[in-house]
Amino acid sequence: MPALWTPSDKLLLASMSATRLALLVSAGLPVETQDSAIDERAVEHAAVHEGLDPPALAARLAEEKALAVSRRHPDRVVIGADQVLACEGRVFHKPADRPAAEAQLMALSGRRHALHSAGALAIGGQVVERILGTAHLTMRPLTEEAVELYLDLAGPDVLRSVGVYQLEGFGVHLFEAVEGDHSTILGLPLLPLLASLRRLGCLAL
């Protein structure tokens, strides 16, 4: 059987995200995962002091993840990724609990927000490719009762999402408009990533 992936070792994903792993596997890439173990809030705090905007913050987080794992495995191709949600000048994070999720959904209700998804490819402890995609989503106006019902239906897994929604599931009911690539919304712009891997000679197709 012909091989799509040309390196001898699998692509190393610097994340434990099941969604990003599924995206890469769906594209036929052989993937292993490893937690980057970086302090994301510390990286973000430093980035805010540097005045980085949300897209640049997503890029910085992706790079730090890729570099952390690449330094441990300098002979591997490593992909780091991160996503930043911004709405009217505010950056949102994954909610710590259900009350935080409820408050976050009410803050996004009736508003258009941006999802900035960044990726960084690293080899030998150096970032060799960077990718960035942005999608815009408009959440329909929601009542507190609708938010409660949605969270009951969606279950605790949505707390792992920065926007408290999974568009491929019950989250689709929250929106009136979606602008952007689906993989960007899921947290990893797949087409730019594949283009980067081709430039590096990692793909036969």
**Catalytic residue annotation:** 82
Structure tokens at 54: 């949300």
> What are the angstrom distances between the C-alpha of 44 and each of 57, 74, 95, 108?
7, 25, 16, 21
Give exposure, 160-191, as e/b (b: 16+ Cβ within 10 Å).
Answer: ebbbbbbbeebbeebeeeeebeebbbbbbbbe
Structure tokens at 109: 């209700």
Q: What is the bridge-based pairing of β-strands 126-139 and 90-92?
A: unpaired
Q: Where are the alpha helices (DSSP H) in 114-189?
A: 144-154, 182-186
> Which residues of the chain form beta strands (DSSP E)?
11-13, 31-33, 78-87, 90-92, 112-123, 126-139, 175-179
- Crossing angle for the helix pair 54-72 and 40-49, to the nearest 10 degrees: 130
- Report how far residue 85's alpha carbon sits from residue 105's, in angstroms, rounded to the nearest whole number: 12
- Report how far residue 170's alpha carbon sits from residue 155's, in angstroms, rounded to the nearest whole number: 10
